[in-house]
Amino acid sequence: MVTTQATATTPDDAWGGCNPLDPAFRADPYPGLARLRERDPVNRTPIGIWRLTRYADVIRLLHAVPAGVRMTDGVLPGVDESLSNQRLFMLQQDPPTHTRLRRLVSRAFTPRAIAALRANVQRIVDECLERVAARGEMDVIADLALPVPSTVICEMLGVPVADRERFTVWTAQATFGLAAPLLPPEVIEMARAAGMSLGAYFEDLIAAHRANLSDDLLSELIRAEEAGDRLSGSELLSQAIGLLIAGFETTIGLIGNGVRALVRHPAELAKLRAQPGLVASTIEECLRYDGPIVLTARVLHADAEFRGTMIPRNAMVWGMLAAANRDPAVFPEPDRFDIARHPNEHLAFGGGAHYCLGSHLARLEGQIAIGTLVERFADLALESETVEWGASLFRVPGRLPLRFRPR
Ligand code: HEM
């Protein structure tokens, strides 16, 4: 957790108690976000970025007002220029570049393609749980939440799983590149160095793949690059790095925060155990109740009015997904964790053109990891009520010790 600039802890401070870098906000962002949503739903931060906290406003930002991720002159705000590996990822592009890049990989992430991975994900989860079963205790992150999505995305991309130790720290640190306007220079430098290390790693890997193309995603991207008109060499590098980071940094949080929420709500845990068919709606509720991504950013491409406040063209606006997901105007009793909640149209995966490409994969991994854990182990108990947050920018625990009894 980066604390260098953390100052805000009270609702009266300049950040309204919602400074993303404040450890207190990370520990529990929901009371502060609720206050903002009620009292100041269209809020300007001390660094000039706007924040929207009501569900209807976030939906409008993502779907209805003219907006993109770059300014109208094509400049990308918020991502440091030196973080070149990240600037070319599809998440940092507007159409037509965004459309072209997303289309190149989207076939691998369709519901049908992801459903075909089910048996493989189940095997990986079973192996993870088998390794700890006799111990009666595990670290949910190191033993399950990290290895499952990272093994899956490595296999999809064609990255050797054995190299995981090398890049896990880099991928976590590189996520800070997404929050450059907030960060002190030493943190930007850390993100830049991590991005460079990932770049060097992938350059070698791409060279090795080029000599021996197969049917993995990296080979598919290399073929598109070699065809000449669809993907440049630096775009190829950025998509590979971006997909690796996006593919597991967030899902660790879905599984970690999800297990934590279930264990802290024993009646809901018992309900899931009694009705395993509720696993899909359980995962939706985990994403709504405590999702790994608190906000997503857009840049307005025309002036837009939100609740009487005019936000100017080219202003950066954060859609506060975590606040929208607890808006009582949409979710009755929003602070209640209810695994059978229906409807549950949460915004944990964002929305519009950049809606998470990996949502089907994340859901499959979450359902199998959490569903199997609950089925196999009983008497789940967290070792501590306090969460040790991880090394990335996201809302993802670094450790989550859990005791259990094998069933
Ligand atoms: C629980 C896990 C995950 C969460 C909560 C999550 C959330 C998000 C969010 C909020 C965005 C930005 C959406 C927006 O701005 O509207 C996003 C984009 C993206 N996600 Fe995920 N994600 C998850 C897992 C994954 C996985 C497993 C992959 C697989 C590679 C993935 C790939 C992507 C990609 C490629 C984008 C950029 C899409 C674009 O710009 O068109 N994500 N994700």
**Could you report the per-residue pLDDT of 272-314, keeping only the tens digit for each?**
999 999 999 999 999 999 999 999 999 999 999 999 999 999 9
pTM: 0.95
Ligand 1 geometric centre to CA of 343 (Å): 22
Closest atom of ligand 1 to 291 CA is 5
Please tell me the predicted confidence (pLDDT) of residue 84: 67
What is the CA(72)–ligand 1 centre distance, in A?
Answer: 24
d(CA 174, CA 133) in angstroms, rounded, equals: 33
- The more confident residue out of 159 and 167 is 159
Residue 4, pLDDT > 60, answer: no
Q: Is the CB of 348 under 6 A from ligand 1?
A: yes
**Over the stretch 323-355, which tens digit does the pLDDT of each residue have?**
999 999 999 999 999 999 999 999 999 999 999
Q: Whose CA is nearest to atom 2 of ligand 1?
A: 251
Helix axes 217-227, 185-210, angle to 10 degrees: 80
Q: If you measure from the C-alpha of residue 11 to the centroid of ligand 1, how many angstroms do you get, rounded to a whole number?
A: 30
- Mean pLDDT of all residues in 230-259: 94
Strand 67-68 to strand 296-300: parallel, antiparallel, or no bridges (unpaired)? antiparallel
Q: Which domains does the chain have, with CATH numbers?
A: 47-406 (1.10.630.10)
* CA 359 / ligand 1 centre spacing (Å): 7
Q: Grade residue 82 by pLDDT with cuts at 50, 70 and 90.
A: low
Q: What is the C-alpha to C-alpha distance for residues 107 and 182, in angstroms, rounded to an integer?
A: 35
Which has more pLDDT, 256 or 12?
A: 256
Report how far apart, in Å, the C-alpha atoms of 176 and of each of 2, 4, 122, 200, 320 are.
Answer: 9, 13, 31, 19, 17
